[in-house]
Amino acid sequence: MDIKKLLGKKIKYFRILRGYSQEKFSELLNISQRTLSGIECGNNFLTSNTLEKILEVLKIKPSELFKIEEYQEPKIIIAELIQDIKSLENNEEKLQLTYRILKSIINN
Protein backbone atom coordinates (compact mmCIF):
# COMPACT_ATOMS: atom_id res chain seq x y z
CA MET A 1 0.00 0.00 0.00
CA ASP A 2 1.41 3.37 -1.00
CA ILE A 3 -0.01 5.79 1.55
CA LYS A 4 1.10 8.85 -0.42
CA LYS A 5 -0.82 7.74 -3.51
CA LEU A 6 -3.91 6.74 -1.54
CA LEU A 7 -3.95 10.00 0.40
CA GLY A 8 -3.35 11.98 -2.79
CA LYS A 9 -6.33 10.30 -4.46
CA LYS A 10 -8.55 11.18 -1.50
CA ILE A 11 -7.43 14.82 -1.55
CA LYS A 12 -8.10 15.02 -5.29
CA TYR A 13 -11.50 13.35 -4.81
CA PHE A 14 -12.59 15.89 -2.20
CA ARG A 15 -11.13 18.80 -4.18
CA ILE A 16 -13.16 17.87 -7.24
CA LEU A 17 -16.22 17.12 -5.11
CA ARG A 18 -16.03 20.66 -3.69
CA GLY A 19 -15.65 22.12 -7.19
CA TYR A 20 -12.11 23.47 -6.88
CA SER A 21 -9.72 23.52 -9.78
CA GLN A 22 -6.16 22.58 -8.94
CA GLU A 23 -5.17 26.19 -9.48
CA LYS A 24 -7.80 27.63 -7.12
CA PHE A 25 -7.25 24.95 -4.48
CA SER A 26 -3.48 25.49 -4.46
CA GLU A 27 -4.07 29.23 -4.03
CA LEU A 28 -6.34 28.60 -1.05
CA LEU A 29 -3.69 26.33 0.47
CA ASN A 30 -0.92 28.83 -0.26
CA ILE A 31 1.16 26.23 -2.10
CA SER A 32 2.19 26.00 -5.74
CA GLN A 33 0.03 24.14 -8.21
CA ARG A 34 3.02 21.92 -8.92
CA THR A 35 3.28 20.98 -5.23
CA LEU A 36 -0.44 20.18 -5.12
CA SER A 37 -0.13 18.07 -8.25
CA GLY A 38 2.74 16.16 -6.65
CA ILE A 39 0.65 15.55 -3.52
CA GLU A 40 -2.36 14.36 -5.52
CA CYS A 41 -0.21 12.05 -7.65
CA GLY A 42 1.48 10.60 -4.59
CA ASN A 43 4.92 11.93 -5.48
CA ASN A 44 5.10 14.41 -2.59
CA PHE A 45 4.00 14.07 0.98
CA LEU A 46 2.28 17.02 2.57
CA THR A 47 3.38 18.89 5.66
CA SER A 48 1.24 19.02 8.78
CA ASN A 49 0.49 22.68 8.04
CA THR A 50 -0.71 21.84 4.53
CA LEU A 51 -2.76 18.97 5.92
CA GLU A 52 -4.49 21.32 8.36
CA LYS A 53 -5.23 23.79 5.54
CA ILE A 54 -6.62 21.01 3.33
CA LEU A 55 -8.99 19.87 6.08
CA GLU A 56 -10.07 23.45 6.71
CA VAL A 57 -10.63 24.41 3.07
CA LEU A 58 -12.39 21.16 2.19
CA LYS A 59 -14.40 21.30 5.43
CA ILE A 60 -13.74 17.66 6.24
CA LYS A 61 -12.63 15.77 9.32
CA PRO A 62 -9.31 13.92 9.40
CA SER A 63 -11.23 10.64 9.64
CA GLU A 64 -12.89 11.39 6.29
CA LEU A 65 -9.56 11.98 4.61
CA PHE A 66 -7.81 8.96 6.09
CA LYS A 67 -10.65 6.52 5.51
CA ILE A 68 -9.13 5.02 2.38
CA GLU A 69 -10.58 1.55 2.12
CA GLU A 70 -12.86 2.80 -0.67
CA TYR A 71 -9.83 2.88 -2.94
CA GLN A 72 -9.18 -0.82 -3.44
CA GLU A 73 -7.36 -2.26 -6.38
CA PRO A 74 -9.63 -3.68 -9.09
CA LYS A 75 -8.35 -7.23 -8.47
CA ILE A 76 -9.41 -7.00 -4.83
CA ILE A 77 -12.83 -5.60 -5.72
CA ILE A 78 -13.42 -8.37 -8.25
CA ALA A 79 -12.36 -11.06 -5.77
CA GLU A 80 -14.70 -9.66 -3.12
CA LEU A 81 -17.60 -9.44 -5.58
CA ILE A 82 -17.06 -13.03 -6.67
CA GLN A 83 -17.00 -14.16 -3.05
CA ASP A 84 -20.20 -12.21 -2.31
CA ILE A 85 -21.97 -13.63 -5.35
CA LYS A 86 -20.92 -17.17 -4.43
CA SER A 87 -22.42 -16.64 -0.98
CA LEU A 88 -25.81 -16.17 -2.71
CA GLU A 89 -25.68 -19.62 -4.28
CA ASN A 90 -28.39 -20.97 -1.95
CA ASN A 91 -30.60 -17.91 -2.20
CA GLU A 92 -31.95 -17.88 -5.73
CA GLU A 93 -34.11 -14.79 -5.21
CA LYS A 94 -31.18 -12.62 -4.07
CA LEU A 95 -28.93 -14.13 -6.72
CA GLN A 96 -31.43 -13.24 -9.48
CA LEU A 97 -31.82 -9.73 -8.09
CA THR A 98 -28.05 -9.27 -7.91
CA TYR A 99 -27.73 -10.54 -11.47
CA ARG A 100 -30.33 -8.06 -12.77
CA ILE A 101 -28.71 -5.16 -10.91
CA LEU A 102 -25.23 -5.96 -12.16
CA LYS A 103 -26.45 -6.45 -15.73
CA SER A 104 -28.29 -3.15 -15.56
CA ILE A 105 -25.17 -1.34 -14.34
CA ILE A 106 -22.92 -3.00 -16.90
CA ASN A 107 -25.25 -2.37 -19.83
CA ASN A 108 -25.78 1.33 -19.05
Query: What is the predicted pLDDT for the residue at 20?
Result: 94
Structural domain span for residue 58 = 3-66
Confidence at 29, pLDDT banded by 50, 70, 90: very high
Number of domains in the chain: 2
pLDDT at 1 over 80: no
| DSSP assigned state of 2 | -
44 and 15 within one domain: yes
Query: Global pTM?
Result: 0.63
Question: How confident is the model over 33-58, as a mean pLDDT?
Answer: 94
80 and 59 within one domain: no
Output the CA torsion 86→92→95→99 (10° steps).
Answer: 130
Using one digit for the tens of pLDDT, what is the confidence trace for 61-94?
998 888 866 556 787 778 888 888 988 999 999 9
89 and 37 within one domain: no
Contacts of 11 (CB under 8 A, 6+ apart): 39, 40, 54, 58, 65
State the DSSP string of 18-81.
Answer: TT--HHHHHHHHTS-HHHHHHHHHTSS---HHHHHHHHHHHT--HHHHH--TT---HHHHHHHH
